[in-house]
Chains A and B, each alone.
Chain A
Amino acid sequence: MAQPRVHQTRGQRRSMPRQKVKNPGKLFRRIFRYVSGSYLPQLIIVAACIVITVLASVQGTLFTRTLIDSYITPLSEAAKAGETVDYGPLLHAIGNVAIFYAIGVVSSLLQAVLMTYVTQGTMKKLRIEVFEHMESLPIRYFDTHAHGDIMSIYTNDIDTLRQMISQSLPMMLNSSITIVSILISMLMLSVPLTLLSLGMVALMLFCSGQATKVSGKNFVLQQKKLGQLDGFIEETMTGEKVVKVFNHENETKEKFDQLNEELYQASYKANAFANILGPINAQLGNVSYVLCAIMGGIIALNQYAGFTVGALASFLTFNKNFSMPINQVSMQINAIVSALAGAERIFNLLDAEPEQDNGYVTLVNVDSGAGVRSDDTPEDGSELNENLRGRIVCGLEESEEHTGHWAWKHYHKADGTTTYVPLEGDVTFEHVDFGYTDDKIVLHDINLHALPGQKVALVGSTGAGKTTITNLINRFYDIQSGKIRYDNININKIKKADLRRSLGIVLQETNLFTGTVADNIRFGKLNATDEEVEAAAKLANADGFIRRLPDGYQTVLHGNGANLSQGQRQLLAIARAAIADPPVLILDEATSSIDTRTEKIVQSGMDKLMQGRTTFVIAHRLSTIRNSDLILVMENGRIIERGNHEELLAQKGRYCQLYTGRKPETAAEGAY
């Protein structure tokens, strides 16, 4: 089945080559525990069924001997002697065997049916668990793992594990039991011949081991070459238009042919050596048969140790049946090894540390918005008052109903009281340091205070740390030192879900989901009515184009909304934020890929959205920034200038330089 390729975005690494599984035994036990966790009774029945199936089939082999020794030989002798031949006992014996066989068939059916439920049930459980766990992982996980690798867990690894559980494991059990029972039967017949057979099996394993080694080495090489070709194809296919513009088709072909040839060589060798495994094992099995016949013949004909001719005939049948399960085991081992590698990746994801949330301050509905306003809040971050609790206590009652008024429910351990702080959208950063890793700090000593309803703009070059700041407010990442407060509550104390619910984000890249337009807007508020959806769309100026879509609000979007223009998708993202109605908004380059005239339309939607909300804006268009209450100019993870537009222009610093497009020495001369 063709898998859709995951879009590669900035900062993703290519998949690493597959590595050897470190501790296969431990992994194997873990898989078994995982499966048996919910299906132990079924597994026991399946194992019993396998034993019965094998015994029935071994019993069939034994029957050949009984048939010949106990019935056919005496009967033919009787016939030769001219006596009447009585087929009654034979019919009886066949009837008995038929019952065994019937039991065998029924148990193999039972096994197949049960295994279907066990395997598929486990797969379903595993898929859901992996997905649930994935959703709980911090953003850091997604930023540090290639999306293709995560996808591959669902598309490849779970599937190989399914094959292992449903096919390889039962077959292994089946083969092992067969091997053991045949081995016992063989030992009972003749020890020396058994040793000879075992010797041949060892030779068989050795030869196939050698072939596996060569083919395995080449499979790794094939994987590597495939990866190289894959990378090249991906690069040239995405850049195919550039290839054509520069008439570079022939160079591309040459490079492609070269990589293609290397892949062919590796693939040829890998498959060739894998292909000869079967013939080697089969023919060595035949040789083993001949050797046993010769040696057994010598023993039987010389009457050593009471070894009869009939016993030799049976032994030879066993010898022939012995090599088949061994072949099967050796073939399954390959499948199991690759499944274990996949299982390791699955468990690595399941073992990844989920997002920690020790927050206990929750967002609740209150009966009225008439709580005491925070009029006494200082004008800027410099005079922060650690204990502003007093302003909030009175006037708010928690309500079960949806009132449209929200408050932070804050339980204080120290004195056992609960306070309600009205949700307003006051955000402060105090001496915040942050690095994606502890050893590399990318934000230094960030201080800012956004009052409810204020618009704060972050400007600066790529990599200055603007987006990083917004990642900290909603706790996608946690800070190393300093404090971030939301309505004067340390955000570490707020439950993450509630914190994020109180923040609306519109990103540069709009991600739409498969579903209707209305569903996508409703993503911001699940229980929104159709009227609310329309109102939000109208606010974002999206209503017009939505109505022109073939099915209006019920138009189904596919492939991340591929049939919508960039601007239209952006409008949907704004509508999504509007319907969530959060007191704090983060707009990260929300309009950068829209032209200025279209932006005007989007902008008026944005302006309506920003009204009465604390807004953090990251933008490089002046029109978006100029009317901000506070502009922070960032460079190399520090805020180097702050103030409003006029103040910053008057400073004639970095902002002025960026704004006028002049070098600092000429910036003083004024606007361009």
Chain B
Amino acid sequence: MLKTLTAQIKEFRLPSVLTPVWMVGEVICEMIIPVLMGFIVDNGIYGSDMQYIIHTGLLMILVAVCGLAFGMLGGFFGAKASAGFARNLRKAMNDNIQTFAFSNIDRFSPSSLVTRLTTDVTNVQNAYMMILRMAVRAPMTMIIAMIMSFLLSPRIAGIYLIAVVLLGIVLYFMLGSANRYFKKVFERYDALNESVQENVTAIRAVKAYVREDQEISRFQKAANNIYLMFVKAELKLAGNMPIMYGTVYTVILIISWVGAHMIVSGSLTTGTLMSLLTYCMNILMSLLMLSMVFIMISMSSASARRIAEVIEEKPDLVNPENPVMKVEDGSVRFDHVYFSYNKGSAEPVLRDISFDVSSGESIGIIGATGSAKSSLVNLISRLYDVTEGSIAVGGRDVREYDLTVLRDAVSVVLQKNVLFSGTIYDNLRWGDKNATDEECRKACRLACADEFIEKMPDGYNTWIEQGGTNVSGGQKQRLCIARALLKKPKILILDDSTSACDTATDARIRRAFREDLPATTKFIIAQRISSVQDCDRIIVLENGMIDGFDTHENLLKSNDIYREIFESQVGSNAEADFDSKD
């Protein structure tokens, strides 16, 4: 995991290395200053030497300026390194996500990918900056202050060493146990957030069933759980500062006693004693700082792991070597295809599917929800790979094609389709970057989208909001169809793509397909019999198996399931669709 992440430092390796260097420079300056202060007190003030005060003072200002320069450099470089690291992490994740197959995306789920790209990266960025600036600075401060103390007075430095070791041990155990509690706190936070989220999204259900009181008492329980655990964790840390103070005070008193003896016996000066007291604070404070760095690292490690997971994920589909770069025609052949979403899971979604479709045919697919209609068509453009058997498009196995070539030739209008923020033209040109306005309008005519677009004030330049929220369901579907048509595909797959269009529009779209795209093979998944009944042939899917594959008339005679569906909709009367008139 660490390797995956550090590999992304890339061009920010130099600032990443230099930041600690600058920080060391700053620390050294900071450590020289107490010595100089001690000299000023000893030689200048007690020695009543104005000249010395000014000289040493100027030297001290010089050191301070150096310290400032180092500090600023460290600040800038640290910010650059961490912001750059974060940028590279996001880029690496996004680049890899773009190579993901559908199955990879299913595994992560979009919302978790969003969290990983945002919150998690921010956590790691902050931790990285902390590490660069503090993880070196704190131990360096401690070491240099310790060395300086030893130079000034080995005896007193010995006392520091003992104090540091003792305090270190105490802090280690305290933080360790607090950390365990904090982890539990976070788990309970999740439970609390879940409760809030459920209530926000399901507020209508809560209010409709008058369940406010029940939900409140559920929330109270969650809030109380956090309270109890948080108090426990914080109490573990409550001793932190007092122990810190206690140690500092004890050391100061011991030094006062020991130092007094040494000064009296002439082995220590007053100024040195004051410098030593400063070092004492430096050493113990840096220990505290170091413990905070550890907390920070342990808190961001979960985020780091989640980022590494995305970067390390191997795409389930890869381009073949020496891929076929041209799809000859729109013929499709399924040969004993088995498919399951999770390899090795017991129940395949599709079982023993075999059929032949020649170029230009229109094929309807019908079946209950969960009968794997979408799974079946998703295999054609190799959005997923078959588990067993093979699928051929244009006479070649789909796994032999270059993915881009295959997907350009096979145009899928997905069931869960989305439009992107941008103008209608922008959205249409997803299908073909170089499409002229005229071509776009023609595609819209075929998809029966032209009528409502032209009624919009800005026509084809109308801005579509994120997720296409400002067009109705039926309009969105028609735009998606037009977008797919612009690819000029050899095979066109409509996965329940006209469900929100009224029957009349649906019929007109199908007629346009028949008349204007005779050479294109068409797969139409629908729930309405009326949407598929005029297809050349219709596949009836039931529990992942083909139950029937024939024309409407023949299926009515021979296929029970088809007849049942037909009767549930058309048997006595046509299917009305009241919800979609725009």
* Chain A residues, CB < 8 A from B397: none
Measured as residues with beta carbon below 8 angstroms from the partner, the interface class of chain A is: 35 or more
Contacting pair A105 B469 (CB below 8 A): no
* Chain A residues, CB < 8 A from B117: 233, 237
CA of A76 to CA of B407 in the docked complex: distance in angstroms? 92
How close is B438's CB to chain A, nearest CB, in angstroms? Answer: 21
* Chain A residues, CB < 8 A from B231: 116-117, 120
Any A CB within 8 A of the CB of B173? no
Contacting pair A238 B418 (CB below 8 A): yes
User: Knowing A500-B209, A661-B503 touch, does A11 contact B260 (C-beta < 8 A)?
Assistant: no
Any A CB within 8 A of the CB of B461? no
B187-195, B327-335, B339-347 - the one binding chain A: B187-195
Contacting pair B204 A247 (CB below 8 A): no
Contacting pair B33 A598 (CB below 8 A): no
In the complex, chain B residues 482-523 whose Cβ is within 8 Å of any chain A Cβ = 483, 487, 502-504, 507
Any B CB within 8 A of the CB of A399? no
Any A CB within 8 A of the CB of B336? no
Chain A to chain B contacts (Cβ below 8 Å), 22 pairs? A3-B119, A68-B270, A105-B242, A106-B242, A108-B242, A112-B241, A128-B220, A239-B418, A245-B412, A264-B86, A268-B80, A270-B79, A271-B78, A275-B79, A282-B71, A287-B61, A287-B64, A500-B210, A504-B208, A566-B369, A576-B209, A621-B575
Contacting pair A511 B202 (CB below 8 A): yes
User: Knowing A2-B306, A241-B105, A249-B98 touch, does A523 contact B54 (C-beta < 8 A)?
Assistant: no
How close is A671's CB to chain B, nearest CB, in angstroms? Answer: 6
Any B CB within 8 A of the CB of A513? yes
Any B CB within 8 A of the CB of A109? yes
User: Knowing A566-B369, A623-B568 touch, does A462 contact B472 (C-beta < 8 A)?
Assistant: yes
Contacting pair B79 A271 (CB below 8 A): yes
* Chain B residues, CB < 8 A from A75: 260, 263-264
B42-50, B152-160, B443-451 - the one binding chain A: B42-50
User: Knowing A264-B87, A286-B33 touch, does A513 contact B202 (C-beta < 8 A)?
Assistant: yes
Contacting pair B115 A4 (CB below 8 A): yes
- Quick one: which of A231, A270, A289 contacts B466, CB cutoff 8 A? A231
Contacting pair A260 B87 (CB below 8 A): yes
Contacting pair A620 B577 (CB below 8 A): yes
* Chain A residues, CB < 8 A from B266: 76, 79
In the complex, chain A residues 278-295 whose Cβ is within 8 Å of any chain B Cβ = 278-280, 282-283, 286-287, 289-291, 293-294
* Chain A residues, CB < 8 A from B53: 293-294, 297
How close is B195's CB to chain A, nearest CB, in angstroms? Answer: 8
* A524 nearest in chain B by CB position: B209
In the complex, chain A residues 288-319 whose Cβ is within 8 Å of any chain B Cβ = 289-291, 293-294, 296-298, 300-301, 309, 312-313, 316-317
Contacting pair A247 B404 (CB below 8 A): yes
Contacting pair A245 B120 (CB below 8 A): no
- Annotate A417-442 by CB proximity to B: 1 below 8 A, 0 otherwise: 00000000000000000000000000
* Chain B residues, CB < 8 A from A109: 238-239, 242
- Quick one: which of A139, A248, A594, A660 contacts B574, CB cutoff 8 A? A660
Contacting pair A1 B203 (CB below 8 A): no
- Quick one: which of B194, B208, B227, B504 contacts A661, CB cutoff 8 A? B504
Any A CB within 8 A of the CB of B559? no
Any B CB within 8 A of the CB of A554? no
Contacting pair A87 B41 (CB below 8 A): no
- Quick one: which of B46, B125, B200, B418 contacts A151, CB cutoff 8 A? B200
Any A CB within 8 A of the CB of B186? yes
Q: A237-B117, A240-B100 are known; give 17 further A-B pairs, CB within 8 A.
A: A4-B193, A5-B114, A8-B467, A72-B259, A101-B246, A113-B238, A116-B231, A124-B224, A124-B226, A268-B83, A279-B71, A294-B54, A501-B209, A511-B202, A523-B205, A595-B367, A620-B577
Contacting pair B76 A276 (CB below 8 A): yes
Contacting pair A116 B235 (CB below 8 A): yes
User: Knowing A124-B226, A264-B86, A271-B129 touch, does A249 contact B249 (C-beta < 8 A)?
Assistant: no
* Chain B residues, CB < 8 A from A57: 245
A-B interface, 9 closest residue pairs, ranked by CB to CB distance from nearest: A279-B71, A275-B75, A661-B503, A511-B202, A620-B579, A271-B79, A112-B238, A272-B79, A239-B418
User: Knowing A154-B196, A286-B33 touch, does A230 contact B118 (C-beta < 8 A)?
Assistant: yes
Contacting pair A293 B274 (CB below 8 A): no
Contacting pair B198 A513 (CB below 8 A): yes
Any B CB within 8 A of the CB of A535? no
Measured as residues with beta carbon below 8 angstroms from the partner, the interface class of chain B is: 35 or more
Any A CB within 8 A of the CB of B314? no
CA of A462 to CA of B578 in the docked complex: distance in angstroms? 9
Contacting pair A460 B114 (CB below 8 A): no
Any B CB within 8 A of the CB of A31? no
User: Knowing A87-B260, A597-B564 touch, does A497 contact B210 (C-beta < 8 A)?
Assistant: yes
- Quick one: which of A68, A72, A279, A459 contacts B72, CB cutoff 8 A? A279
User: Knowing A108-B241, A500-B207, A596-B568 touch, does A132 contact B574 (C-beta < 8 A)?
Assistant: no
CA of A123 to CA of B280 in the docked complex: distance in angstroms? 37
In the complex, chain B residues 401-421 whose Cβ is within 8 Å of any chain A Cβ = 403-404, 407-408, 411-412, 414, 416-418, 420-421
Contacting pair A567 B369 (CB below 8 A): yes
User: Knowing A234-B114, A620-B578 touch, does A90 contact B260 (C-beta < 8 A)?
Assistant: yes
CA of A567 to CA of B368 in the docked complex: distance in angstroms? 11
Contacting pair B257 A91 (CB below 8 A): yes
CA of A63 to CA of B261 in the docked complex: distance in angstroms? 16
Contacting pair A671 B565 (CB below 8 A): no
Any B CB within 8 A of the CB of A206? no
User: Knowing A94-B253, A286-B64, A309-B46 touch, does A661 contact B577 (C-beta < 8 A)?
Assistant: yes
